């Protein structure tokens, strides 16, 4: 297997988003959980997205795991590796975007790295280096209250500059609209000025095509699924990849019972939970109880076992920003988050033991904890449920045939859970 594109994602739902985007663009794509074992049997594919749970861990660990993934991908022929980050640039002044970018760029020998989290399809745009969520700057959006990585600055040149050893420049929209050659010339000019990375503006879908073509001339890029789409288009246009659809067997029915778990505290997920209450049993967990010990999760599992034979259920630990803040103040941000994630993973394990074979998980950190607990090494990418969220078929899993959907908190419409269940047969 010779890969045309390698990708390293800093969380599992972001990896699913990217794998879905690449598949829609015609690349045969597999998402792996962690760096694959040498004996994992993979189908013939054009791209592999290595999923890491590295967004909010200590920076040196994120760097080490990302470099290991980079080595694995390049050993299988990937000339270009995309470090996939969140489209809202989730990070702090300590990282982890900057430290990982610095390490991958240093290993590759690239003088300058192209960086953009823009993905207009999901209303993430960059103009004059500032990231917008819909019509408002990042720091005025609900992401300013993110429980792990609150974002208080929309200027990505400044944000990345605070966490990288490299000087950060800007390729503005005026250069982008003139196409890949102009982008490349601007990057060369910035490199000549001592810049080691550049935020690249993107406002329209066509901008991604130009950015992808320019990025493909380099060995490393950093961004969200939008730049992944641009890279995929460039590979197809250059004839390096023949356009394919998703694997025909990726959406084959598996049957079995279905359940949903929600750990995200985003406004979108809270609205989706509220809508789901009209069509399925929903249990709202007490987050403080989850932190206090195992009894809350045990009670939830017993509640689910009484109901799942009659139809899907939803269990939610999601809470409002004020409730999350109060819990973090009592127990500490990391301790509270870890305890809730592990409780949700316990629930997932128990649900699988009870016969669930179709599982929907909302929230990046929650998805990471669940997939790690279930020891699923990889996924085939199936049809799209919502923008950035595909149906995933487990491959190489001890539990056998299973379908999952891993949703970033902000993704999907109000009926996401029912829409997902309709596709996961």
| 3-state DSSP assignment of residue 320 | coil
- Average pLDDT score over residue span 326-339: 84
Predicted local confidence at residue 253, as pLDDT: 87
Beta-sheet pairing, 81-84 with 220-223: parallel
pLDDT in tens, 276-288: 999 999 999 998 8
SS (H, E, C) 58-106: CHHHHHHHHHHHHHHHHHCCCCCEEEECCCCCCCECCECHHHHHHHHHH
Per-residue pLDDT tens over the stretch 89-103: 989 899 999 999 999
Write the pLDDT tens digit of every residue in 96-135: 999 999 999 999 999 999 999 999 998 999 999 999 999 9
Give the pLDDT band (50/70/90) at residue 402.
very high
For range 301-328, the mean pLDDT: 90
Q: What is the mean pLDDT of the chain?
A: 93
How far apart, in Å, are the Cα atoms of 40 and each of 28, 164, 167, 375, 406? Answer: 17, 35, 40, 13, 22
Phi, psi of 273 (to 5 degrees): -65, -45
Q: Which residue has the tokens 């601007």?
A: 186
The answer to whether 185 touches 179, Cβ cutoff 8 Å, is no
Q: Report d(CA 287, CA 303) in Å as an integer.
A: 17
């Amino acid at each position: 297997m010779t890969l045309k594109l390698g990708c390293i994602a800093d969380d599992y739902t972001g990896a699913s988003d990217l794998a879905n985007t690449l598949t829609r663009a015609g690349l045969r794509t597999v998402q792996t959980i962690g760096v694959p074992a040498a004996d994992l049997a993979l189908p013939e594919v054009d791209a592999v997205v290595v999923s890491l749970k590295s967004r909010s861990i200590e920076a040196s660990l994120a760097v080490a795991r990302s470099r290991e993934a980079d080595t694995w991908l390049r050993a299988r022929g990937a000339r270009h590796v995309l470090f996939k980050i969140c489209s809202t640039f989730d990070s702090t002044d300590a990282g982890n975007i900057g430290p990982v970018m610095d390490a991958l760029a240093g290993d590759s020998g690239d003088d300058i790295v192209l960086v953009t989290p823009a993905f207009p399809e999901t209303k993430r745009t960059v103009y004059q280096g500032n990231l917008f969520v819909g019509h408002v700057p990042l720091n005025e959006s609900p992401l300013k209250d993110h429980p792990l990585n609150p974002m208080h600055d929309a200027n990505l040149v400044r944000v990345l500059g605070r966490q990288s050893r490299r000087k950060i420049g800007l390729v503005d929209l005026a250069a982008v609209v003139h196409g890949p050659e102009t982008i490349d010339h601007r990057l060369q000019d910035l490199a000549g000025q001592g810049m080691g990375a550049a935020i690249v503006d993107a406002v329209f879908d066509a901008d991604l095509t130009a950015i992808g073509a320019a990025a493909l001339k380099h060995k490393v890029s950093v961004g969200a699924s939008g730049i992944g789409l641009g890279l995929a288009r460039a590979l197809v246009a250059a004839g390096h990849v023949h356009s394919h659809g998703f694997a025909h067997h990726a959406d084959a029915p598996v049957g079995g019972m279905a359940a949903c778990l929600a750990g995200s505290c985003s406004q979108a997920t809270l609205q989706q939970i509220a809508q789901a209450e009209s069509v399925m049993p929903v249990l709202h967990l007490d987050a403080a109880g989850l932190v206090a010990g195992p009894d809350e999760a045990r009670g939830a599992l017993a509640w689910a076992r009484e109901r799942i034979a009659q139809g899907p259920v939803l269990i939610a630990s999601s809470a409002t920003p004020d409730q999350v803040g109060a819990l973090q103040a009592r127990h500490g941000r990391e301790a509270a988050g870890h305890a809730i994630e592990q409780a949700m993973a316990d629930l997932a394990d128990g649900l699988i033991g009870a016969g669930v074979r179709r599982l929907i998980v909302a929230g990046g950190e929650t998805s990471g904890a669940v997939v790690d607990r279930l020891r699923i090494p990889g996924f085939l990418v199936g049809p799209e449920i919502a923008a950035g969220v595909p149906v995933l078929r487990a491959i190489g899993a001890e539990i056998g045939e299973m379908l999952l959907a891993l949703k970033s908190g902000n993704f999907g419409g109000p009926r996401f859970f029912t829409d997902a269940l309709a596709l996961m047969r």
